[in-house]
Amino acid sequence: MPRAQRFLADAMLGKLVKWLRLSGAEVEYSREGNDETLIKRALRYNLVLLTRDEALAQKASGYARTVLIKSNAPEEQLKQVAKELKIKLKPSETLCAHCGAQLKRIAKKQVEGKMFPRVFRSHRVFWKCGGCGQVYWKGSHWRGIISVLKRAKRK
């Protein structure tokens, strides 16, 4: 089975990074670094470089697989990446939207007293990020995530 595409996004694409992670895609987010550093990293780790920087895209095009993101709107960016790279946009609870580390399902009692009582009472399943410690659950926001991913897939 071929390995899923992995991505390196430049500093201009923070919201796109979160949406890709919410669909289970492995994305490194580089908030700093010059063009050469980004290109070398993409090459070394076989990452698809995502950028809004035309000059960077032009420099990288002969070396690393590169997608020049055209829109400022995260949903349009997501649509472009999915279409150009033929990736499936399905909601996933495997990666942290903040740092990209793996999420692990945890026992409900492990989050008791660490969140709003209403959230604790109304949900049974929780995940915790192994990197930053962020706790997740499928709250009312989950429907919104599914809706955005469906729209981006269909456009």
Lowest average pLDDT, out of 10-14, 43-47, 66-70, 151-155, goes to: 151-155
> Quick count: other Cβ atoms within 10 Å of Cβ 10?
22
The rounded distance, in Å, linking the Cα atoms of 93 and 126 is 10
Predicted TM-score of the model (pTM): 0.89
pLDDT in tens, 27-86: 999 988 799 999 999 999 999 999 999 999 999 998 999 999 999 999 999 999 999 999
Give the whole-angstrom CA distance, residue 98 versus residue 22. Answer: 10
**Predicted pLDDT of residue 106:** 96
Strand order of the sheet with strand 135-136?
Answer: 103-106, 126-129, 135-136
* Domains with residue ranges and CATH for the chain: 6-85 (3.40.50.2300), 96-137 (no CATH)
β-pairing verdict for 6-9 and 48-51? parallel
Cα distance between residue 74 and residue 97, in whole Å: 14
Q: Which residues pair with 136 in a beta bridge?
A: 127
SS3 43: helix
Predicted local distance difference test score (pLDDT) of residue 33: 79
From the list 17, 4, 18, the residue with the least C-alpha distance to 51 is 17
Task: Identify the DSSP state of 140.
Answer: T
